Structure 1
Amino acid sequence: MNTIIDALKAHAHNKPEQFAFVGENAQGETVQLTYQQLAAEVFAVAAYLTSLNAKVVALRAENSISWILIDLAAMVANLVIVPIPTFFSYTQVQHSLAESGADLLIGDWSEQASVECLGHLAGLRVYRSVGVMPASVLADTCKITFTSGSTGHPKGVCLSQQHLSNVAQSLAEAVMGLAEKHLVLLPLSTLLENITGVYVPILLGASVHVYPGRKLGLLGSSQFNAAAFAQQLADIQPQSLVLTPALLLALIKLVQGNSQLAQSLKFVAVGGARVSAQLISAAHDLGIPAYEGYGLSECGSVVCLNTPKAFKAGSCGKALSHSQLRIAEDGELLVKGNSALGYLNAPFIEEWLATGDLAAIDEQGFVHLLGRKKNLLVTAFGRNISPEWIESEAQALLPGVPLFITGDGQEQLCAVSQHISNIDAKLSELNSKLPDYARISQVLQLETLHAIPNWFTANGKIRRDQLEQSVSELLSQNLSNVSFHRQMVTRIDLPKS
């Protein structure tokens, strides 16, 4: 049973005139679909997809109502769909196609050579992939979501319709009654927004506004136009959003300049990385109802979430009804209840899924993230420190400033940061709030961190082993200013507190 499609059909019958999705289609035209119209279009697209005799559909396009129609239609047609992020590199796209064995490509595939154009569907181009090798997709898979991961080769996570329905239903129960108008901000190709911006609203019978990222001020995976974002917030007046910590920081800055932008908001979920308690408190002080959550693709996205009924700043909330959590002896968070089928060609066989995240669960059941297990620093004094913990605390004092913590095997911790003035004062303030073993002793400042070769993956994630090696070499020179890959690195020693 697919509760998402069942809900769509029920709303089409019970409240046919209510708007389901409002926004733009793939051709930039303004579209308003009622639930009755949405259901009719979804089933029509599903019938056409079925007639093409495809097995695996790869969808690569900007956010639009067209994207949503293809996604829901593939579910109705019982086809495997593979959403491909538009910010994936050419190499990542080719890897995803080869791994999934996609034989039908929909959307922007202008770079593909071996394809046959079949026309258009829901305003998006449709191509038959020529000479594709079939992949060993796990049984019952309906969606393959490729995680960007920490390397250049994303992993394909296989999810069933039951997995997606379980997560969406659990989320719908948690946020029921909080909001009736959602604005999609994150790419729909990311599983989080796919579920929260499409499936959960359908279950709740809510309305969703969908526009391409450029109209909302979002370009690629990391560029942002604050003025465009503010204009859309003012025009649409959404009641709910899903944000990354970086977007929450941007929203805080906007609301500081114009408090009206927060007035319509009823629920703002924040995920994708650890969020400091100070940042959540700063949002609440401005009237932004921000609530941190946590999830991973291997569990079908969201696992736990703060809500107005159960909230603790500094935590990522309590487990949703579909999941069970426990902490392993080494501090790793384990999840049971809605694990994915597995990776492509590698089914999950363990009852409890190891998340790779260090965490603690308090007496009230709130989950507190402590960082990635593989990133744990062990100082020369034997203290275990999660760099993400310190980095997230620095967000509140240095919003939007790239900063990374190093010190594995060292007596002191060092911060590597983009160059800004008065960073010594800001980090000294941060140190005053940290235990002595987690305080930063030195800072290395560069003009452009992302220009350093080998420090970042193709997805923009930090390579901590490379960073540690470089920092160790720079500190060994014991100079205040060092030339490093054509950049000047300024070293600052912080006062001991």
Structure 2
Amino acid sequence: MMITATNNSIALSDGRRQLTYGQLQDAVAERKSWLQEKGISTLGIALPNGIEWVLFDLACEQANLCCVPVPTFFSPQQRQHLQQQTAMDACLVGTDDPLWPATDSPFNGVALCTFTPSTPALMPRGTGKITFTSGSTGTPKGVCLSHQSQQQQALALASAAQHSNPVHLCLLPLATLLENIAGVYAPLSIGGQVIVPNDEERGFFGSQLVDLKGLLGCISRYQPTSLILVPELLHALVLATQQGWQPPTSLQFVAVGGGKVSTQLLLAATQAGIPVYQGYGLSECCSVVTLNTPAQNTPGSVGPLLGCHSLRIEDDELVLSGNLFLGYLGEPDSWYPKEVYTGDLVSLHNGNLTIKGRRKNQLINSFGRNLSPEWVEAEIIATGLFKQVVVFGEAKPYCVALLYPASPLVTEQQMSAAIDSVNRQLPDYAQVQRWHVLKHPLTSDAGLLTDNMRPRRSSIQAAYSDTIEALYALSHFPQQEHRHVVVSTS
């Protein structure tokens, strides 16, 4: 990455430690040399947010190594899948990581775990980063990106935001490509300051916000000029303003993306003093594709193209070309694409893109996590206690389900134990937090199932809309350490 800031200006801080641009360049160079001495070619980063995450990410770029961000909220099974598919020969972990024990501890509490891959990774030539989706199934896909494409995207974002001397506070996990490129690369490319507090200070546990007060205090303490939010975090901030919290007057640009955002929420945020601008992107296009800005803001749309991509609309589906990914890990047929079919149904007015829905059933929760409801449903069905399971969670903070037992003899206690058992095998964003037990099965005669007995999701959601909304009304932010489910048979 091209860094043009003066040596004495602050580049990176975590609230306890800070580095000037001169110190940043020295620290990155030191880690680059260390990685080269170790002979590492593919490095995983399984660290929480912090300065070392950024330093090693930049060191991989300078050393032209392949970097694999490992989301801290991935389940052990997903982490093993990631490690095997990428054939990483080393991974940076915490000193007490239970899954990958360390063999070396080189920098500031960061430990190194080494592997001996049995087979090489099948990846496109020029892969500089493999970013994994949230895991719409148990085996998430690896999206292969070049270092050059990430740099190009960061510069386009910095230019579009027209934001001078940014002080960006990273609230999302750095393993999230959106925060990685827009929250770190873009500010650093124009001499800004990046603040990377740890999970506890941000009020997070895994991918979930569990301490809203902590999050608000973090924002107030650092007085950032920019933030990146998913819809659930924006909603939380708006609710906080209604209860007396004052957004910092320093805020100039708050980007929101990663999921569906209502126009009403955007307007409420603006009225509350949160200068919010909605965007749209996907990993296959190096994150952000379109973005509203102070110069061109149309609430309800996701804004115009940044300039790195071109679009066309085929049968209402958005098709993108331009600055694209290199292909999917392990899928040679996908390599070096000229276009990406997004699966998103859109409309275009005066250069502004509006997202109308998704072609497939995959849902995106309000924290920006993708998941396939069929995956979760299959895990619950596999317990043998349920005949029908339908999971919902689009634009919501957690998953809920409609359940029909396999037998009238199944007790509520048995159902609760079964859901708890399944949840322990799933990453936090896919766990079912609340459910409703149906008195009668879903039928095709009622228009709720297809002829081959698959759920008609939109019809089911419409028929049970009050029930589903009631499950979310019970608790807005279930605490990680006190998760429970509410079984309703009414």
Alignment: residue pair count: 408
What does 1:218-237 correspond to in 2, within 5 Å? 218-237=204-223
1:369 aligns with 2:355: yes
Partners in 2 of 1:146 and 1:61 — Cα distance? 15
Question: How many angstroms does 1:89 deviate by?
Answer: 0.1
Alignment partner, residue 70 of structure 2: 84
Give the RMSD, CA atoms, in angstroms.
3.5
Alignment partner for residue 325 of structure 2, among 340, 343, 366?
340
Partners in 2 of 1:283 and 1:255 — Cα distance? 9
Question: How many angstroms does 1:152 deviate by?
Answer: 1.2
Contact 1:151 1:459 in 2 (8 A): no
- Structure 1 gaps, min length 5: 25-29, 377-386, 396-403, 405-413, 419-446, 491-497
Contact 1:358 1:371 in 2 (8 A): yes
Contact 1:259 1:286 in 2 (8 A): no
Alignment partner, residue 201 of structure 1: 187
State the AA in 2 paired with 1:22. S
1:141 aligns with 2:130: no
Contact 2:226 2:251 in 1 (8 A): yes
Partners in 1 of 2:392 and 2:107 — Cα distance? 48
Partners in 2 of 1:471 and 1:315 — Cα distance? 41
State the AA in 1 paired with 2:488. M
Contact 2:436 2:489 in 1 (8 A): no
What is the DSSP-based 3-state SS (H/G/I as helix, E as strand, rest coil) of the residue aligned with 2:277?
A: strand
Residues 167 and 209 (structure 1 numbering): CA distance in 2 closer, same or farther, change over 3 Å?
same
What is the DSSP-based 3-state SS (H/G/I as helix, E as strand, rest coil) of the residue aligned with 1:318?
A: coil
Contact 2:302 2:352 in 1 (8 A): yes
Alignment partner, residue 438 of structure 1: none
Alignment partner, residue 17 of structure 1: 8
Question: How many angstroms does 1:282 deviate by?
Answer: 0.6
1:458 aligns with 2:426: yes
TM-score where L is the length of structure 1: 0.75
1:473 aligns with 2:473: no
Question: How many angstroms does 1:126 deviate by?
Answer: 1.4
Partners in 1 of 2:283 and 2:298 — Cα distance? 24
Alignment partner, residue 487 of structure 1: 487
Contact 2:165 2:193 in 1 (8 A): no
- Structure 2 gaps, min length 5: 368-372, 374-389, 395-414, 449-462, 468-484
Alignment partner for residue 306 of structure 1, among 292, 304, 325?
292
Alignment partner, residue 151 of structure 1: 137
Residues 179 and 288 (structure 1 numbering): CA distance in 2 closer, same or farther, change over 3 Å?
farther
Question: How many angstroms does 1:358 deviate by?
Answer: 1.1
> How far does the alpha carbon of each residue in 1:128-161 deviate from its partner, in whole angstroms, 9 at most, with x for none?
2135432122210110001123211110111001
What is the DSSP-based 3-state SS (H/G/I as helix, E as strand, rest coil) of the residue aligned with 1:319?
A: coil
Partners in 2 of 1:61 and 1:16 — Cα distance? 27
Alignment partner, residue 387 of structure 2: none
Partners in 1 of 2:302 and 2:273 — Cα distance? 19
Contact 1:116 1:130 in 2 (8 A): no
Question: How many angstroms does 1:100 deviate by?
Answer: 0.2
Alignment partner, residue 163 of structure 2: 177
Question: How many angstroms does 1:486 deviate by?
Answer: 8.5
Residues 350 and 121 (structure 1 numbering): CA distance in 2 closer, same or farther, change over 3 Å?
same
> How far does the alpha carbon of each residue in 1:150-209 deviate from its partner, in whole angstroms, 9 at most, with x for none?
211110111001110111011011012356211000000111101122100111100111
State the AA in 2 paired with 1:23. D
Partners in 2 of 1:154 and 1:163 — Cα distance? 22
Partners in 2 of 1:314 and 1:415 — Cα distance? 27
Residues 489 and 306 (structure 1 numbering): CA distance in 2 closer, same or farther, change over 3 Å?
farther
Alignment partner, residue 27 of structure 1: none
What does 1:45-56 correspond to in 2, within 5 Å? 45-56=31-42
What is the DSSP-based 3-state SS (H/G/I as helix, E as strand, rest coil) of the residue aligned with 2:294?
A: coil
Contact 2:229 2:256 in 1 (8 A): yes
Alignment partner for residue 352 of structure 1, among 313, 322, 339?
339
State the AA in 1 paired with 2:306. L
> How far does the alpha carbon of each residue in 1:299-326 deviate from its partner, in whole angstroms, 9 at most, with x for none?
1111111111111111111111111111
Residues 275 and 63 (structure 1 numbering): CA distance in 2 closer, same or farther, change over 3 Å?
same
What is the DSSP-based 3-state SS (H/G/I as helix, E as strand, rest coil) of the residue aligned with 1:250?
A: helix
- Greater RCO structure (CA 8 Å; 6+ sep): 2
Residues 489 and 150 (structure 1 numbering): CA distance in 2 closer, same or farther, change over 3 Å?
farther
Question: How many angstroms does 1:489 deviate by?
Answer: 3.2
Contact 1:69 1:122 in 2 (8 A): no
Partners in 1 of 2:424 and 2:262 — Cα distance? 23
> How far does the alpha carbon of each residue in 1:104-137 deviate from its partner, in whole angstroms, 9 at most, with x for none?
1112373346x66133235411122135432122
Question: How many angstroms does 1:254 deviate by?
Answer: 1.6
Contact 1:184 1:209 in 2 (8 A): yes
Partners in 2 of 1:64 and 1:78 — Cα distance? 22
State the AA in 2 paired with 1:458. L
Partners in 2 of 1:33 and 1:486 — Cα distance? 48
Alignment partner for residue 106 of structure 1, among 81, 86, 92?
92
Partners in 2 of 1:219 and 1:341 — Cα distance? 32
Residues 95 and 167 (structure 1 numbering): CA distance in 2 closer, same or farther, change over 3 Å?
same
